[in-house]
Each structure stands twice: as structure tokens, then as C-alpha cells.
Structure 1
Amino acid sequence: MQLSKQVLRRQLLQQRQALPEAEWQQKSDRISDHLRQAAFFQQARTVFAYLSFRQEPTLQSLFDDQHQWGVPRCVGSELVWHHWQPHDLDQLQPGKYGIMEPKATLPILSPAVADLILIPAVACSAQGYRLGYGGGYYDRLLSQWPHLKTIGLVFDDADRLPLPTDPWDQPLKAICTEAGFRQPDGKT
């Protein structure tokens, strides 16, 4: 019997938050290293990324001045992306879910300019579907912008899990864990 998204999410978040900080940082650094070495990252001009929350893989070591960075702000039921200078913490504030978000005064970036979008996940299925926090923000974004190069970031122990899916769930183009990159099963 397959667990509901809510039960699975709760179990996986508890498991992830139980990771010792040193292990969480080490796994996060390996994910960032894989991204940094990828040609598509090196060639990207504009990268949309997230600011780590609830022990998601942190991208702190990845943020540099060689890319234009977009970070999301929740506005209603949508994500609005703002240009953010790496490490400019004065331009961030807690949002509606307690996640650090850019201030509304920062310039807005259209998803059309994104060369790459790095998406957090609680878990990913073998087919490239992600389990998020249940708000549907990324699924709405991806349904409107299906051409975006999307990389789901998740720790290896939460990858390739059997996940329930809904008709509105949008698959990712690739997944990156501390073990490396993979394409969703059935994709070339």
C-alpha cells in the first residue's frame, strides 16, 4: 500500500531533519560540487535557485558572482522571482512560510530568462516527480514554463522512492543527489 503524500512528507522531513549537521553539510557540498562541475551550470547565465529551509540541500557554497541569481518569493499562489546578489542577506526576509525570501523591492526576473532552475524536493520518484511541501508552487511554475531546464535537488536516501502522483504534478528534467546526476527513468 502506497502512503499518502502527507504521511510520506512528514516521515521524510523527520528523517532529513534528524541528519547531523556535519553530514547534512557534507552531502550538500557534494551536490553543489556536482552542479559546479556540470557544463550546463558553467554555461548558464541566469540560475533560479532556492534558499535552504528545513535542512534542504544548501546551495551556499554554490552561490557566486559569475551568475545572475533569481530567488523566489511566494505571492498568492505563485512564485515571483527576484534578482539577488549572493550573500546579500540584508535583502532577504522571512516569508509567509518562514522561508527566507527576497524583499519585494528587488528587481523581478521572468522565468523566460532562466537558463536553469534548481528545485528543492522532499523526495523524488524514479520517473522524476518530486514530493514538495504541498503548496504546488513549483508545479504551477513548471506547467506554465515547460521548457525550463529543471534540476531537482534531494539527498540520495530520498531519491527513487515510489511516490503518489496527481494529474497536476510536473516531472523534473534531471535529479542531482550527493551521488551525482540522473535522468528520470524513461527519459533520454
Structure 2
Amino acid sequence: MTKSEEKKQMRRMIRALERELPAAYKAQSSAGIARHLLAMPEYQAAVTVFCFVGTDREIDTTAVLKDALSSRKRLCVPLCVGDGLMELRQITALDQLVPGAYGILEPSADAPLVDADAVDFAVLPCLSCSHGGHRLGQGGGFYDRFLARYRGGAVLVCREKLIREDIPLEPHDCPVPWVLTERGLWEDGIPARLG
């Protein structure tokens, strides 16, 4: 079995597992992850933040988005512009988000474009990841392309119950140094202190 086939198999397994998670656990884990993330000094010091807009199946990032806006950070979110391609677009209010590609809330195409080099801190989604920062995405390649050119601070957010240490890796996969679950923060696979 190739690594690509292993990833497809693991995606099916993780999606099935995610569907079985109780709504109360999802809400609790999202709240815990947001609380930990907002306590990260790297987030607090960031001037420009890139954060995905969570879907029903992902971590709810609403608290992070609201905090970034109320803290007067420059907030950018993804806009899907093609197959596996996204742009970072600035928003100044959550009501600027509308359903876009794949039914995900996105900014409009006329929202200001932000270069990845301008981002100080990025909050990234995953289906699953290891505590060491190896990421299993949805398979579209959007975040692989972003990570290949991004050099700032980044954190993967994942529910603890979806963490897997045996993520299949391909040459293009870029590990992310920080992983955040409702249990806390890992840096390069080692539990780290927050604040």
C-alpha cells in the first residue's frame, strides 16, 4: 500500500471516528483548545493572524476569530480560489464571511489580499495529527501548499481523541512545530507549558 493509499484509509477511519464523537465533547474540546490558544504568548504577540474558519466537523474557531478582531489584530482567513489553492484575505468582522467553496464560510473575493510572509501566527486545521506535528489533512493540498512557503509561527489544532502518532508521511508533508489539543500544547512532540 502506498503512503497516499494509507492516508486515504486513515482519513476514512478518522472521519468515521469523528462522526461518533458526542456533541458535548466536541463543544468542550473546542472551548478548551480556544482557551489554550488565546493563552499562547506567540498568539498574544502576533500582529497578523491567519486562522481557518471551522466547519461543523472541525474545531470551532469562532472564539479565536472574535478575540483577534477585538484585540485589533490583522485577521486573515482562507479563500479557496482553485483546486488546492487558497489565498489569505483580511476581514474586519465575522459578518463579512459567506458560504463559499465546499460550503465553508469565506471572505469575499474583493477582501484585501494578505501575503503569507506578513503572517506572524497561523492556526491550522487537520483531520488528525501526531503530537509531533505530522498532519493528516482533508486531502486537497490547500495547507500543504501554504506550509511549503510559510515561515512564521504555526499551531495545529486537533481534538485529543483524534490524535494519531502513526500519520503516514510523504516527501511534501511539512511538520508543524506546535500542536494544541484540549489537554494542552506540544512543541516538537514534547508537552509544553502555556503562558
TM value normalised by structure 2: 0.87
1:157 to 149, 155, 161: 161
Separation of aligned partners in 2, 1:43 and 1:24: 28
Q: Contact 1:5 / 1:131 at 8 angstroms: preserved in 2?
A: yes
Q: Which amino acid aligns with 1:43?
A: A
Separation of aligned partners in 2, 1:183 and 1:142: 17
- Poorly superposed stretches of 4+, deviation over 4 Å: none
What is the 5 A alignment of 1:9-158? 9-62=11-64, 63-64=66-67, 65-66=70-71, 67-76=73-82, 77-88=84-95, 91-145=96-150, 147-158=151-162
CA change 1:36–1:126 in 2 (3 A) is: closer
- How many equivalent pairs are there? 184
Separation of aligned partners in 1, 2:7 and 2:168: 6
Structure 2: tracts of 5 or more residues without a match: none
Structure 1: tracts of 5 or more residues without a match: none
Deviation digits for residues 94-133 of structure 1, max 9, x if unmatched? 2222211111011111111111000001111243110000
RMSD of aligned Cα (Å): 2.0
Separation of aligned partners in 2, 1:153 and 1:119: 6
Q: Which amino acid aligns with 2:156?
A: G
Offset of residue 160 of structure 1: 4.0
TM value normalised by structure 1: 0.90
Structure 2 match to 1:183? 187
Give the match's secondary structure for 2:37.
helix
Higher helix share: 2
Give aligned-pair identity as a percent.
Answer: 32
Q: Contact 1:174 / 1:184 at 8 angstroms: preserved in 2?
A: yes
